[in-house]
């Protein structure tokens, strides 16, 4: 199966010169963010999408047609899609990640691990009883990372299907963080899915899901050189 391309950017890669490649709806979104870090995350994510697709399709980044229609309200803040490529965007802290596959739907999620989170309370709203019991078996100092690994595995799956947070994450049951990543059970989806953990440094957890019955090869790329030119 064709490899999944995973491109990593950083908020520090954002610069005003990139804005000219965005579509009007994207510029409106950029302007609506109050915080500079949110602007940078969105700008870098949208630019990685445009420039990687431009390279593959031999088009100018500004000429790439993207659709982000939200199935709930129709506004341009939903899962990004384009003809001929499946993709998924995620950002957290200083990191931005975009996954691309030519045919199979993909979902990617990166999260900055907050060591101060109350993992046990969050478990009550986002983990199944089985997962919460497993989480309680981790040392307290390891629980924030373990919880965030569950979270990113679940989010990757619901982002691949396009459900997003409309899915009840307690029912999206994934393998424990110390086990190979897999979807154990989810009544909301009965097709094939494969999960992969992505390495994003000690401060982050990240996972990739692909709606396929084959484990994908993952090729990682640093977007910084592409964003500098
Ligand atoms: C998708 C979602 C799970 C992302 O949560 P998050 O962890 O805060 O954010 P991430 O950085 O990981 O992901 C954001 C990206 O998810 C993508 N996305 C948005 N909706 C999505 C969906 N339903 N499925 C998959 N991806 C989605 C977008 O590309 C977005 O990046 P961009 O806006 O820069 O292009 C969550 O925002 C969601 O479910 N949204 C849809 C439901 C919703 O918000 N409805 C209310 C508006 S009417
Ligand atoms: Zn909406």
Tell me if 73 CB under 6 Å of ligand 1: yes
Residue nearest to atom 45 of ligand 1 (CA): 72
What pLDDT score does 229 carry?
Answer: 85
pTM of the predicted structure, to 2 decimals: 0.97
| Average pLDDT along the chain, 229 residues, taken 10 residues at a time | 96 97 96 97 98 95 96 92 96 98 98 93 94 95 96 98 95 98 96 98 98 96 96
User: Where along the chain do the CATH 3.90.470.20 domains lie?
Assistant: 1-104+212-229, 113-208
Determine if residue 201 is left, alpha or beta; phi over 0 gives left, psi from -120 to 50 gives alpha, anything else beta: left
What pLDDT score does 120 carry?
Answer: 82
What pLDDT score does 70 carry?
Answer: 92
Q: CA 123 to CA 86: how far, in whole Å? A: 31
Q: Following DSSP, what letter does each residue of 18-63 receive, concatenated?
A: GGGGS-HHHHHHHHH--SHHHHHHHHHHHHHHHHHHHHHHTS-GGG
C-alpha dist (Å) from residue 218 to 6, 146, 200: 7, 22, 14
What pLDDT score does 119 carry?
Answer: 86
Minimum-distance ligand 1 atom for the alpha carbon of 72: 48
Which ligand ends up closest to the CA of 70?
2
CATH superfamily assigned to domain 113-208:
4'-phosphopantetheinyl transferase domain (3.90.470.20)
- Cβ atoms of 134 and 65 within 8 Å: the answer is no
What's the CA-to-centroid distance between 75 and ligand 2, angstroms? 5
Residues in the chain: 229
Q: CA 102 to CA 111: how far, in whole Å? A: 25
Domain 1-104+212-229: give its CATH architecture: Alpha-Beta Complex (3.90)
Q: CA 164 to CA 190: how far, in whole Å? A: 16
């Amino acid at each position: 199966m064709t490899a999944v391309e995973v491109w990593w950017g950083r908020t520090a890669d954002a610069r005003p010169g990139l804005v000219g490649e965005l579509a009007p709806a994207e510029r409106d979104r950029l302007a609506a963010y109050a915080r500079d870090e949110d602007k940078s995350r969105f700008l870098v994510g949208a630019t990685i999408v445009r420039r990687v697709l431009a390279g593959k399709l031999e088009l100018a980044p500004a000429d790439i047609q993207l659709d982000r229609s939200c199935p709930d309200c129709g506004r341009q803040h939903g899962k990004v899609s384009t003809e001929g490529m499946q993709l998924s965007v995620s950002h957290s802290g200083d990191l931005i990640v975009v996954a691309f596959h030519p045919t199979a739907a993909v979902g990617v999620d990166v999260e900055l691990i907050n060591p101060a989170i109350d993992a046990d309370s969050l478990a009550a709203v986002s983990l199944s009883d089985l997962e919460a019991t497993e989480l309680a078996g981790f040392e307290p100092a390891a629980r924030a990372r373990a919880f965030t690994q569950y979270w990113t595995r679940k989010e990757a799956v619901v982002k691949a299907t396009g459900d997003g947070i409309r899915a009840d994450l307690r029912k999206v049951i994934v393998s424990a963080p110390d086990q190979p990543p897999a979807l154990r059970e989810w009544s909301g989806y009965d097709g094939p899915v494969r999960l992969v953990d992505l390495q994003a440094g000690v401060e982050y957890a990240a996972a990739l899901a692909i709606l396929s019955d084959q484990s994908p090869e993952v090729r990682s790329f640093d977007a910084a050189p592409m964003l500098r030119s």
